[in-house]
Amino acid sequence: MRVLLLEQIHPDAVEVLQSAGFEVVSADRAYDEDELIAAIGDVNLLGIRSKTHVTDKVLAAAPNLIAIGAFCIGTNQIDLLSATAHGVTVFNAPFSNTRSVVELAIAELISLTRRLSEKNTLMHAGVWDKSADGAHEVRGRTLGIVGYGNIGTQLSVLAENLGMRVLFYDATDKLALGNARRAASLKELLHDSDVVTLHVDGRPENKNIFGEAEFAAMREGSIFLNLSRGFVVDYAALRRHVETGHIVGAAVDVFPVEPKGRGDEFVSELRGLPNVILTPHIGGSTEEAQQDIGQFVANKFRDFVVEGSTALSVNLPGLDLPRREGSLRLVHLHRNVPGVLARINGLLADNHVNVEAQLLGTRGEVGYVVTDSAGGVTQQIVDEIRAMPETIKLRVVF
């Protein structure tokens, strides 16, 4: 197995993959589309973070690719529909950096509530301003969380431990943790919160969900945080509300357009505002999170290659069938139409192949079946299954 890892993926990932016998090539930066097309022809496993985009053109140039690992939470940089059509399984790390993002949010909301960023700027300019004006404790204040998923819920718990009241709003029904209360509407949350923080996912319908109307609806003197996705916020509107004093502070970690490499110029409407904390998409960039992510996704790669396991896959049915020692395993990805499993089993039965274990799962337009046998599977059988019109990809795992 040939593996290409981009964007400074943690060395633990390399260790896991090399210990499994895979050949690993690493690069510290993102590849653009042309570079990736030139490099991916003989690659079986591709590991990226957020800046390398895997397009349909890239996937069309990757006949040997079987899996992509997003060593991060988001997968909007990958054309998932095209990946599925090409029989490429996609994995990510949905939980590994949750704590790191939450801790950054806590640090920023305390810093902004105490106006630490402004005091720091003044001190570096030689100005001593020992004043309590506008500085508050977070205890007793209300935190409004938009998006109550893995990050939002953990932030909710920690904020309560700091003595904050917590409101949350989510497009789907979510169970409130602790004393958190679900807001009946986004408008209610904005009206009642001293701090508003976004933790929504990268689905296209979330584009520009937070703009002029939402900032205007926020409480006078409130604070705004976005550590989710850059394209969900109108930052020009945020600047206007910061400049008028309606919003007294903001912290932003994600941007609609981000530089590709370290040292490249960062351009944003928010530069130059003393009460705005800008960080270079580092919500999950702690050594602990990157180590956990590296190990998690690398282990997913190994289990997929060795076992055919798709547990927690982003785009395929999640199957994990325990392997029987000495068995031969057929891993079959196919279009989800009636009769495929019956035809596979009929073909095996006609050739006197006994099925020892089998598991089928479907997800949308695709089905995934794992079949174990003690022997008798010939190249002719493999070729016949591969030639079925419904077959997207077939692998034989010994």
d(CA 256, CA 268): 9
**Please, which residues bridge with residue 330 across strands?**
371, 396
- Residue from 49, 165, 281, 334 carrying the catalytic annotation: 281
- Residue from 49, 141, 165, 229 carrying the catalytic annotation: 229
108: its two tokens: 């920023």
Residue 100 DSSP SS3: helix
Q: What is the DSSP letter of 359?
A: E
- Residue from 160, 258, 269, 356 carrying the catalytic annotation: 258
321: its two tokens: 């069938």
d(CA 143, CA 178): 14
Contacts for 27 with CB less than 8 Å, ≥ 6 apart: 4, 5, 6, 7
Assess whether 229 carries a catalytic annotation: yes
Phi, psi angles (nearest 5°) of residue 282: -110, 15
Assess whether 205 carries a catalytic annotation: no
Phi-psi map region of 171: left, alpha, beta (phi>0 left; psi -120 to 50 alpha): alpha
d(CA 72, CA 69): 9
Pairing of strands 328-335, 366-373: antiparallel
> Do the Cβ atoms of 204 and 179 come closer than 8 Å?
no
Phi-psi map region of 395: left, alpha, beta (phi>0 left; psi -120 to 50 alpha): beta
d(CA 91, CA 24): 18
d(CA 255, CA 54): 19
d(CA 5, CA 49): 9
User: In this structure, what is the dihedral angle of CA atoms 296, 97, 318, 368, given to the nearest 10 degrees?
Assistant: -70
335: its two tokens: 């279009």
Residue 256 DSSP SS3: coil
Contacts for 151 with CB less than 8 Å, ≥ 6 apart: 98, 101, 102, 105, 199, 227
The catalytic residues are 229, 258, 281
